[in-house]
Amino acid sequence: MGSPVLSLNNVQLTLQGNAGPVRILKGISLDVEAGESIGLTGPSGSGKSSLLMLMGGLESVTGGTITALGQDLTNMNEDALARFRRNNMGIVFQSFHLIPTMTALENVATPLELAGDRDAFKKAKAELEAVGLKDRADHYPAQLSGGEQQRVALARAAAPRPKILLADEPTGNLDTSTGETIVDLLFNLRDRHGATLILVTHAPELAARCDRTLELRDGALA
């Protein structure tokens, strides 16, 4: 077995709430191997999404270290983290988080463009086709259904061929049938590109599709 793609060492997160500091994560240590898929489950408020944000460098730890692909994320400034994500990570959110002023195609092309890819739009088109939205390329997010928006978000996350794919309850805002389609697409993409997948979910059956399931309770791994 090689060195882990993602390594968390005693990761802690304390946020400032209205009533004082709140300890969200209380010392998480975890290694994720290349190509592995991990289902992260737990009740609401257990810290699943926060842990995913830390893994993506979208939040800074208040203790411990996170190493991704051999680089210490905790020592990087914001722009260095952005560059790291651009080259190595794709993230899918529960609320899709598409940019409302861009069409579906532009949303998908943006991370490729940011990475300086000359074929950004060609690849974005192919990626949209892969999620079945070839005909909706010129639509703005407001003109798409929730399931369609999430498919665009999946295409956007997968387009730069990231080594790590982070998904935060990608079916949370969708009905069961649409959710299943999205999950199929997600695993399909992961299988096609061989990415490491960290999937935050409430659904045990969805977590069961992963190689390994971890449960978070009250900010710690159970």
Residues of this chain that interact with other proteins (CB under 8 A) are 49-50, 53, 56, 58-60, 78-79, 82-87, 91, 93-95, 97-103, 106, 109-111, 113-118, 120-121, 138, 140, 142, 156, 160, 172
| Three-class secondary structure of residue 32 per DSSP | strand
> Toward other proteins, which CB reaches closer, 82 or 220?
82
> Toward other proteins, which CB reaches closer, 3 or 143?
143
CB of 2 to other proteins, least distance (A): 25
Q: What angle do CA 89, 94, 97 make, to 5 degrees?
A: 70
> Toward other proteins, which CB reaches closer, 19 or 142?
142
Residue 110 near residue 156, CB atoms below 8 Å: yes
> Toward other proteins, which CB reaches closer, 2 or 100?
100
- Please tell me the distance from the alpha carbon of residue 212 to that of residue 23, in angstroms, as a whole number: 26
CB of 222 to other proteins, least distance (A): 23
DSSP state of 217: E
| 154: phi then psi, degrees, rounded to nearest 5 | -65, -45
* Cα dihedral 152, 154, 159, 161 in deg (nearest 10): 180
DSSP state of 121: H
CB of 93 to other proteins, least distance (A): 6
> Toward other proteins, which CB reaches closer, 98 or 174?
98
Q: Give Cα 178 to chain centroid, integer Å.
A: 19
Which sign, positive or negative, has the C-alpha torsion 54, 57, 60, 65?
positive
The number of beta carbons lying within 10 Å of the beta carbon of residue 8 is 24
CB of 60 to other proteins, least distance (A): 7
> Toward other proteins, which CB reaches closer, 29 or 95?
95
CB of 26 to other proteins, least distance (A): 18
Q: What angle do CA 9, 11, 12 make, to 5 degrees?
A: 155
CB of 216 to other proteins, least distance (A): 16
- Please tell me the distance from the alpha carbon of residue 103 to that of residue 100, in angstroms, as a whole number: 8
